[in-house]
Amino acid sequence: MALLSLSNIHKTFEKGTVNENHVLRGLDLDIEQGDFISVIGGNGAGKSTLANAIMGNSTYTVDSGSIIFDGKDITEDAVNDRAKAGIFMSFQNPISIPGITVENFIRTAKSTITGKNVRALSFKKELKEKMDELSFDVSYAQRYVNEGFSGGERKKNEILQMSILNPKLAILDETDSGLDVDAVRIVSEGVNRFHNEDNAVLIITHHNQILQKLKPDFVHVLINGKIVKTGDASLVREIEEKGYDAYKALA
């Protein structure tokens, strides 16, 4: 049984208005435990919509279709219940949260998700270990979440949350956007360290930089709100050469 199974997902924004935008159009996607997969597609293809729909973020809940996660129908579940069930999403543009430190934010999230008290001392130790792995200076633990963080620091902060919350499924939306080569390397190493046979990683991206560092088992091409082609990592190179246009006929 798949860890995540999306069937016939539809999502329309501004439904019923002249601006109606049918973004996800009968999308099917299965992710197995242990999978490391990528969804690629051009700007506006619906990649972030897909990620947010799986996470259940407000305004992105689907219009129809079903989302089964870990054997349970979560189509109607709230975002916090999906997080508790083991889904994590790293945002394309992480927001800042003035007044809340990185340490408090992640500790609270961990205790909410696990339903257990997280002891301050052992948490501090774990946080420091994970920050060291990401070459993320430990002083950032006491800074407000993403306040004044560079693009690279924001992404490191996302990877830090992921590694501590230890989800069953991690969805990373454009994790490489705006990162320099060193940050791409550090973030990629963090993702590779996280991935194992018991979890799954979905990398969403429109370009190739991170897929040279991370080697997904499968690549799915998203065009016009559907997965139109699935292949191995070589598909990325093929698309670089031909562009997405060559696949539009399949949509």
Which residues contribute to the site for ligand ADP (CB under 6 A)? 13, 21, 23, 41, 43-49, 59
* Binders in 85-104 for Mg ion, by CB under 5 A: 92
CB of 55 to ligand ADP, least distance (A): 13
23 touches, from Mg ion, ligand ADP, none (C-beta below 5 to 8 Å by class): ligand ADP
Q: Which is nearer to Mg ion, 83 or 89 (CB)?
A: 89
Q: Which is nearer to Mg ion, 57 or 101 (CB)?
A: 57
Task: Count CA within 13 A, CB hemisphere, residue 27.
Answer: 32
Under the binding rule (CB under 5 A), the answer on residue 48 touching Mg ion is yes
Query: For Mg ion, which residue has the nearest CB?
Result: 48
User: Regarding beta strands 144-145 and 169-173, do their DSSP bridges make them parallel or antiparallel, or are they unpaired?
Assistant: unpaired
Q: Which is nearer to ligand ADP, 153 or 174 (CB)?
A: 174
Q: Which is nearer to Mg ion, 7 or 92 (CB)?
A: 92
* Binders in 62-81 for Mg ion, by CB under 5 A: none
CB of 49 to Mg ion, least distance (A): 8
Q: Which is nearer to ligand ADP, 190 or 225 (CB)?
A: 225
Under the binding rule (CB under 5 A), the answer on residue 38 touching Mg ion is no
Q: Which stretch binds Mg ion (CB under 5 A): 45-53, 134-142, 186-194, 241-249?
A: 45-53
Q: Please give the residue ranges that form the binding site for Mg ion (CB under 5 A).
A: 47-48, 92
